[in-house]
Amino acid sequence: MTLKVGSIVEGTVVNITNFGAFIELIGGKTGLVHISEVSNTFVKDIRNFLKERDKVKVKVISVEDDGKVSLSIKQAQDKNDKKSLRPIEIDWDKERSKSIPLSFEDRLSKFMKDSEERFQDIKKNQDAKRGGGYSRRGSSY
């Protein structure tokens, strides 16, 4: 069987290395899927994505004269299978409506508590900058 560049075939993972996985194709040929061709996401450890004896669909990227075959798993995936890298859209109005609205008194109480905490933090910082509240000007040696 001759492999054509661009064709999608099925194979079996026979060996996994740090730089990729060797795939045995129909007809006994073996090709390499480089780690960068495993997934659309960053692959730090290929073993998190593939195991030996896994059946995978691969696309033939190149066939060298010396018999080396380069393969890609991510290019063999259907365009509809790819997950979007866009962040999830959040409907903030809907999220606000989920939370229970606080009464005016509760909001005022929360504001006063937060305000008092902030005031205490500012006071501590000012005292620390002044040397603990003691002044040198008025003291006699």
* Cα 20 to Cα 22: distance, rounded to the nearest angstrom: 7
Alpha helices (H) along the chain? 92-98, 104-129
Tokens of 4: 């054509």
Q: Residue 40: name the closest of 76, 11, 71 by CA.
A: 76
Q: Taking the complete model, does pTM exceed 0.85, yes or no?
A: no
**pLDDT tens string 83-105:** 544 556 666 666 666 666 778 88
Residue linked to tokens 């504001």: 111
Q: Residue 49: name the closest of 2, 16, 75 by CA.
A: 16
Mean pLDDT value of segment 107-129: 88
Residue 72 reports pLDDT greater than 90: yes
* Cα 66 to Cα 87: distance, rounded to the nearest angstrom: 44
34 phi and psi angles, rounded to 5 deg = -65, 150
Mean pLDDT value of segment 40-62: 91
Superfamily of domain 8-77: Nucleic acid-binding proteins (2.40.50.140)
Domain range list for the chain: 8-77, 98-129
Mean pLDDT value of segment 75-86: 62
Residue 112 reports pLDDT greater than 50: yes
pLDDT on residue 52: 92
**pLDDT tens string 7-44:** 899 999 999 999 999 999 988 889 999 999 998 888 88
Higher pLDDT among residues 137 and 6, named by residue: 6
Residue 6 reports pLDDT greater than 80: yes
